[in-house]
Amino acid sequence: MKVYNTLSRSVEEFVTKQDKKVTMYVCGPTVYDLPHLGHARCYITWDMVVRYLRFRGYDVVYARNITDIDDKIINKAKSTNSTTHEIAEKYYLEFVKSMNELNILPPDIEPKATDNIQAMIDLVKTLVEKEYAYECNGNVYFRVAKFAKTGKYGHLCKQNLDDMQAGARVEASEEKEEPMDFALWKVAKPDEISWDSPWGKGRPGWHLECSAMVKKHLGDTIDIHAGGQDLIFPHHENEKAQSEAAYDADFAKYWMHNGFVVINQEKMSKSLGNFVTIQDLIEKYDANTIRFFILTNHYRMPIEFGDEGLQSAKAGVRRLKNSIEDIPIAEGLEKCTKALDLIIGEIVNKGCFPFHDIDKIEYLTNGVSEEIIEYVIKCILNFINSMDDDFNTSKALAILFDLANNAQKCKNDSKPDDAQLCVALLLRLSEILGFDLQKVQGAADELVIQLMEVLLSVRNEARDQKNWAIADKVRNDLIEIGIELKDQKDGKTSWTLQ
């Protein structure tokens, strides 16, 4: 199995600290606003990685933090006359709701920054004692230049100190020894939330939070540290620096980063104001469609957001769903599952399949043809080879389509047992990628969506022709049956059930 390591800028053999065990940390959201498609791309990606590692037999401990104290949260609280806790809790619950709706597994560990303040203070104390940090007027800063002398600073972003300083947004301060020094602990401002510390009342810096939570929950060195590409510098570079300075150990063996979602070649982000919230997207597309849209692309590559790509993804999901709906599998599912468990167990545990067990599989599947058994084995091996190659999900999806096509062919050739085994494997492999193809929108829901698309098309045409009587009648009639229309600035219209 091979993964791309941002640290080395190369694809490397995946070798964990402990055999068949993985410790994995992903930087979670700063909960001050609604999650958007960029978040969906990030957390669907790492959900896929966790699911696949577990399929490959790894015991994965997956941690994903929640940043619930930060300048953005404080500013949002002030602007809305709320407390930081109220803001963080509100948007944390929105985040959890969106993750659940996207069929993203919850992490094994989900530490919140405010629950780990003592661990952060302990880390700062260690850095001060080792003279990698210094205090000034209640603020504590990390000595970047001192750590840079070890030759390890800039390894992740592949820049030297001068280049980083030239390209960084360095916060000016007369307190700092050097411009690139970053805050580990920030002195409390009037009326801001704060905690007691050896340096007075204050709060942690952003980079410090993740380092402390990794140490507390996963140890000095983890196998995988992951997040969005935008975190490479300064966040991950500074996390790495402060942790390695404190504990004299590599912070992570493999650094993995997903690419951006872009609109008109610009990164989707809240700061640019060009984002689409997950909730807005789910009103129009289901979770399988959104996941398909994201996994069609390699996780390290950028994704261009647009309705055309999402409509294509929707059609792709429908093709897979059709094969499942067309071929009844309930009666034979148990036998097919046992056969697949046997095949997958041999492949995952031994790296190959002993063909002398085909008789046992034929017995379990009640006479499935040897041709289809060998085909299924080939599909599993190809799926593993694709995913072992730095999680090549686009190739893995192609295997799902091949299974769907073969299932239909077997059905047309009056080979129902063969068709059932193909569908059973299609379901199994799709679950590894995080799809729930048996829970796609029901027929009634699909019909409602299609009818709404027709009605909106009629109304938009009426608006274009300035036929306001028809446009208003469509809107008002829909309101009477509990459907609210929202006309957006870009000229599109969304709808919600009241």
How far apart, in whole angstroms, are the C-alpha atoms of residue 164 and residue 63?
29
b or e along 178-213 (b: 16 or more beta carbons within 10 Å of the residue's beta carbon)? eebbbbbbbbbeeebbbbebebeebbbbbbbbbbbb
What pLDDT was estimated at residue 474? 87
Q: Please say if the pLDDT value at position 311 is more than 90.
A: yes
| CA dist 463 → 2, 478, 481, 491 (Å) | 54, 16, 21, 10
What pLDDT was estimated at residue 403? 97
pTM of the model: 0.85
What pLDDT was estimated at residue 335? 80
Task: Supply the DSSP string of 107-155, one letter for each residue.
Answer: PSB--BGGG-HHHHHHHHHHHHHTTSEEEETTEEEE-HHHHHTTT-TTT
What pLDDT was estimated at residue 357? 57
The region, left, alpha or beta by phi > 0 then psi within -120 to 50, assigned to residue 491 is: left
Structural domains of the chain sorted by starting position, each given as residue range(s) with its CATH number in brackets: 2-131+146-168+201-282 (3.40.50.620), 326-439 (1.20.120.640), 443-497 (no CATH)
- pLDDT-derived band of residue 80, with 50, 70 and 90 as boundaries? very high
Name the residue type at position 197: S
Residue 101, judged by CB atoms within 10 A of its CB (0-12, 13-18, 19+), counts as middle
What pLDDT was estimated at residue 443? 42
How far apart, in whole angstroms, are the C-alpha atoms of residue 50 and residue 101?
18
- Condensed to tens digits (0 to 9), the pLDDT of residues 144-171 reads 999 999 999 999 999 888 777 755 555 6
**Does residue 331 sit in helix, strand or coil?**
coil
What pLDDT was estimated at residue 440? 45
Least confident window among 34-38, 125-129, 426-430, 449-453: 449-453
How far apart, in whole angstroms, are the C-alpha atoms of residue 364 and residue 439?
27
Q: Please say if the pLDDT value at position 269 is more than 60.
A: yes
**Residue with the larger pLDDT of the pair 157 and 368:** 157
When the pLDDT of each residue in the chain is averaged and rounded to a whole number, the result is: 90
Q: Is the dihedral of CA 375, 381, 386, 387 positive or negative?
A: positive
Residue 233 phi, psi dihedral angles, 5° rounding: -140, 135
Q: Please say if the pLDDT value at position 268 is more than 90.
A: no
**Under a CB-based contact definition with an 8 Å cutoff, are residues 109 and 66 in contact?**
no
- pLDDT-derived band of residue 373, with 50, 70 and 90 as boundaries? confident
**Under a CB-based contact definition with an 8 Å cutoff, are residues 98 and 47 in contact?**
no
Q: Please say if the pLDDT value at position 354 is more than 70.
A: no
- pLDDT-derived band of residue 263, with 50, 70 and 90 as boundaries? confident
Query: Could you tell me whether strands 139-142 and 133-136 are parallel, antiparallel, or unpaired per DSSP bridges?
Result: antiparallel
What pLDDT was estimated at residue 191? 87
Q: Is the dihedral of CA 338, 343, 344, 348 positive or negative?
A: positive
- pLDDT-derived band of residue 401, with 50, 70 and 90 as boundaries? very high
- pLDDT-derived band of residue 366, with 50, 70 and 90 as boundaries? low
How far apart, in whole angstroms, are the C-alpha atoms of residue 440 and residue 274?
29
**What is the pLDDT averaged over residues 421-446?**
81
Among 332, 331, 360, smallest CA distance to 345 is for: 360
Least confident window among 99-103, 212-216, 258-262, 331-335: 331-335
| CA dist 47 → 7, 38, 40, 54, 419 (Å) | 22, 14, 10, 11, 29
Cα 422 vs. chain centroid, distance in angstroms? Answer: 29
Residue 36 phi, psi dihedral angles, 5° rounding: -120, -175
- Condensed to tens digits (0 to 9), the pLDDT of residues 83-123 reads 999 999 999 999 999 999 999 999 999 999 999 999 999 99
**Under a CB-based contact definition with an 8 Å cutoff, are residues 327 and 407 in contact?**
yes
Least confident window among 165-179, 186-200, 207-221, 426-440: 165-179
